[in-house]
Chain A
Amino acid sequence: MTMNKIIHFKLDGVDCQAEKGQYILDAAAANGIWIPSLCNMKGIKPHGSCRICTVKVNGRPMTACTTPVVEGMVVESNTEELNDQRKQILEMLFVEGNHFCPACERSGNCELQALVYRFRVAVPRFAFQFPVRNLDASNPRLIKDHNRCILCKRCIRGIKDKEGRNLFAFRRRGHKVEISLDPELAGSLTDEQAQKAMDICPVGALIRKEKGFDVPIGKRTYDKKPIGSEVEQPTVNE
């Protein structure tokens, strides 16, 4: 087993344990407490850009996916203020893109949709922007739909070629930022890489071609259990 030093912290009043150097988000999960996140994914270097996992560490807002636990840390996560800010971020993501769940191959497996359900977003408080965004189906294996992209950078961080070069990258900045796929390297994209890209994408922005709806809607991951339940300890009520 691990030789790592065990340290202690408090999360929403609960005494928790963590391994030294463990991020708050992972340590919370190990203690059966779910902190919502979106741009974070196991196995990929955390980036802290969606800000949904923001918690208060000793009173200061910090992203749980990038902040390591320190002995004696006091963390708040499940508070009205933080949950409303999370809801705001989800609503912002909804209005800044074009998300039409019923027509999306990812529906039911989509982390954004699942979070929106869990946070009970009915109508966003922000005005829909209805941006004009492209759908790029030029690659033989992968469809890139910018309407659904939430700019989490998971594909950038998670997918490299054999030489370690990035297949995906950001272009431009601010609200004009978008994901681009390398025209040269994309030509040699394998089925496995295309599948990996689709799996890494939390929404339906990257969709593998010629293969879809393997699992019918209604029987997908979040159709069965809400997001977060995979780490939460079952309580008596459930």
Chain B
Amino acid sequence: MKASVQKVLDRYKSDPTRLMDILIDTQSEVGYVPDAAVAQIARSLGISRVDVEQTLSFYHFFNRKPAGEFQVYLNNSVVAEMYGRRKVTEAFEEAAGCRFGQVSDDGLIGLYDTSCIGMNDQEPAALINNVVFTRLTPFRVREIIRDIKAGKKVEDLVVEGAGDGENAGKLVRSMVQNNIRKIGPVLDPEYIPGEALKKITRLTPEQVIQEIKLSNIRGRGGAGFPTGLKWEFCRKAQGIQKYILCNADEGEPGTFKDRVILTELPRLLFEGMAVAGYAVGATEGILYVRYEYRYLQRHLENVLAETRKKKLLGKKIMGKEGFDFDIRIQFGAGAYICGEESALIESAEGKRGEPRDRPPFPVESGYLGCPTVVNNVETLCSAVKIILNGGEWYKSFGTKDSTGTKVLSVSGDCKYPGIYEVEWGFSVNDILDMTGADEPQAVQVGGPSGTLIGPDEFDRILCYSDLATGGSLIIIGKQRDLLKDVVMNFTDFFVEESCGSCVPCRSMTVLFRQKLQKILDGHGVKQDIEDMIAWGPTMKINRCGLGQTAVNPILSSIKNFRHLYEDRIRKDRSFDGGFDLQAAVAESCWAVHRKPLTEENDHE
């Protein structure tokens, strides 16, 4: 083992900022990261063991113990539950002979829950040793486990054949389906690589920024910061070395559009990064991809190599002196928070994905302290089309304050889940019609950190001034128990995915979950609802956008579906002291063989 870890360390020149890669590769070699490897890595990088452990223990795909020869990570998103996850879970446990969170006695199979893996349109889905399995049924689970026990390799467990498009390509070979339901200027398959680069070589960087500013495009990840302005800030920031980081960490449950873009249009994305590099004066780019999409690694590396060969990346792009730009791919290791731009930077530097304080903003001091632009996959792809067709053209799509198109990831209770590129300005009703959602009870717009709306708001418009979204729409049918199946699932997600740095995010998420559980158990009182409304605003002082929205599922459902809470609380009391005398003395009574005296204390 020592030799193989050393090889990994040599590969990254024992650079502490590449700790993520070192840990990922070590785990690939050894299967997990044992104590001896931690000590060896620490020594080699000149950092302490706890510093290695600090990064290692943050990400949920890293293992400190043998985690099974076959590691099953079953997505626990709300849509997976809708499509029968519970029965799939039971089938896995029965067939493997161990519970979730455990490894089978023979060390062959490890079962784990994981947050949304970006397959919401084909649930229930799981990753088994980085191979994606979608639309699982108990029957398929039994087959898979049988084949694992029979000694088959993980690739041979797939019997469904390959998915559409590049999913069937030699380097992907995945059963994943793209489910592209509507294409627009960004998803247009007629794209020819290199034309935008050719065009910008005739423009100054300032002119490129001007065109992007003219288009009024705003960041497509969800926060909606004007892209042209971000580029301009970075261009003007002091620094010889600058970076373009592409955020492909789409971890918001229900979002999977970047997965499809990475599969079908990586050339467009790389060109967008090069355009951004030219505009801000950066020579290096990093594509930060979530660990869940590692099945795309060989495909992406191959396209990168091919793009370099065509001189669309590397030195003197398009023959232009001084236009140098290259890209490396950085994988995450399982942490929703890394979708936040400064947490993503920290992670790309080999650290825990904890968001940074601002100021300074990444455009002033980002990756390795250098001015950095962090853009969403879709933003960079759109930028290419803006350069090709002009900012004015782009403004012809969408509404006045929200120009262009948005690629939506639609999933849940509808006939046609998948991705839809629509102009801004569509109403939720339009989307419901388009996707064949017959009896929607509610729609979660923008993922768990977004808004839960009911039928009386289905006429609201998708745009930055009304319903802003990073693109996830989860449709929840009439048959669902909104609080138990949906709101609780989202709340669990935030408890699991908080980085733990800010006190309100770390603590309040747990307190809210308890309150919700109490209400679901039928013990809630009116005061519990009032408490959550009163405490909610304190979340707004968390450092990052994700922490600030971490109790939104509850607050937003109280606001729009208060009757569901009212129905479940006790009507016989409005206040609850939080102390159950009977339960408190039960054990002592048992010990001394007495029955608790409760009658005079009992209010019922």
Contact = CB atoms under 8 A, between A and B. Distances in A.
Interface of A: 46-52, 54, 61, 63, 66-68, 85, 88-89, 92-93, 95-96, 125-127, 129, 150-151, 161, 163, 165-177, 180-185
Contacts of B510: 96, 129, 175
Contacts of A89: 503-504, 538
B50 A180 contact: yes
Contacts of A52: 503
30 contacts: A47-B357, A49-B502, A49-B503, A54-B541, A67-B359, A88-B538, A89-B504, A92-B503, A95-B511, A96-B506, A96-B510, A126-B507, A129-B510, A151-B503, A165-B46, A166-B48, A169-B48, A170-B58, A171-B50, A171-B53, A171-B57, A173-B58, A173-B335, A174-B498, A175-B495, A175-B510, A182-B51, A183-B49, A184-B39, A184-B49
A230 to B, nearest CB: 23
B578 A127 contact: yes
A181 B48 CA distance: 10
Interface string B333-360: 0010100000000000000100001010
Interface in B24-60: 39, 42, 46-51, 53-54, 57-58
Contact of B503 (A61, A93, A125, A183): A93
A183 B58 CA distance: 19
A67 B543 CA distance: 12
Interface in B367-390: none
B50 A177 contact: no
Nearest to B43: A184
B500 interface: yes
A174 B495 contact: yes
Given A166-B51, A175-B510, A51 B335 contact: no
Nearest to B335: A173
B541 A61 contact: yes
B113 interface: no
A161 B543 CA distance: 30
B542 A51 contact: yes
Query: Which residue, B49, B50, B510, has most C-beta atoms of chain A within 10 A?
Result: B50
Contact of B48 (A129, A174, A182): A182
Contacts of B337: 173
B54 A170 contact: yes
B434 interface: no
Contacts of A181: 50
B498 A170 contact: no
A169 B503 contact: no
Interface SS of chain B = helix
A182 B499 contact: no
A185 B48 contact: yes
B394 to A, nearest CB: 31
A212 B495 CA distance: 38
A175 B507 contact: yes
B497 interface: yes
Given A93-B507, A96-B507, A165-B51, 14 more contacts: A46-B357, A48-B357, A49-B502, A51-B502, A51-B504, A92-B508, A96-B510, A126-B511, A170-B500, A172-B57, A173-B57, A173-B337, A177-B506, A182-B48
A180 B53 CA distance: 9
Contacts, number: 130
A96 B511 CA distance: 9
B182 to A, nearest CB: 37
A96 B51 CA distance: 25
B540 interface: yes
A95 B511 CA distance: 10
B50 A182 contact: yes
B511 A169 contact: no
B499 A169 contact: no
B521 interface: no
Interface residues of B, number: 43
B535 interface: yes
A125 B359 CA distance: 33
A89 B47 CA distance: 33
A88 B542 CA distance: 13
A227 to B, nearest CB: 18
Contacts of A51: 502-504, 541-543
Given A85-B538, A151-B500, A173-B499, A66 B58 contact: no
B302 interface: no
Contacts of B578: 127
B587 interface: no
Given A85-B538, A172-B58, A184 B502 contact: no
Contacts of B588: none
A147 to B, nearest CB: 15
B552 interface: no
Nearest to B534: A125
Contacts of A46: 357
B531 interface: yes
Contact of A165 (B47, B352, B504, B506): B47
B301 interface: no
- 8 tightest A-B CB contacts, nearest first: A177-B500, A169-B50, A169-B54, A92-B507, A66-B357, A174-B498, A165-B48, A182-B50
Contacts of B511: 92, 95, 126-127
Contacts of B496: 174
B587 to A, nearest CB: 15
A158 to B, nearest CB: 15
B504 A92 contact: yes
Nearest to A161: B48
B241 interface: no
A55 B212 CA distance: 35
A175 B509 contact: yes
B126 to A, nearest CB: 23
Nearest to A92: B507
B514 A127 contact: yes
Nearest to B45: A165
Nearest to A181: B50
A92 B511 CA distance: 9
Nearest to A126: B511
B534 to A, nearest CB: 9
Nearest to A176: B500
A174 B49 contact: no
Contacts of A50: 502-503
Nearest to B47: A165
Contact of A170 (B47, B352, B540): B352
Contacts of A150: 503
A166 B543 contact: no
Contacts of B42: 184
A44 to B, nearest CB: 14
A173 B354 CA distance: 10
A125 B531 CA distance: 9
A49 B58 CA distance: 17
Interface string B485-523: 000000000011111111110111111001000000000
Given A54-B541, A85-B541, A171 B335 contact: no
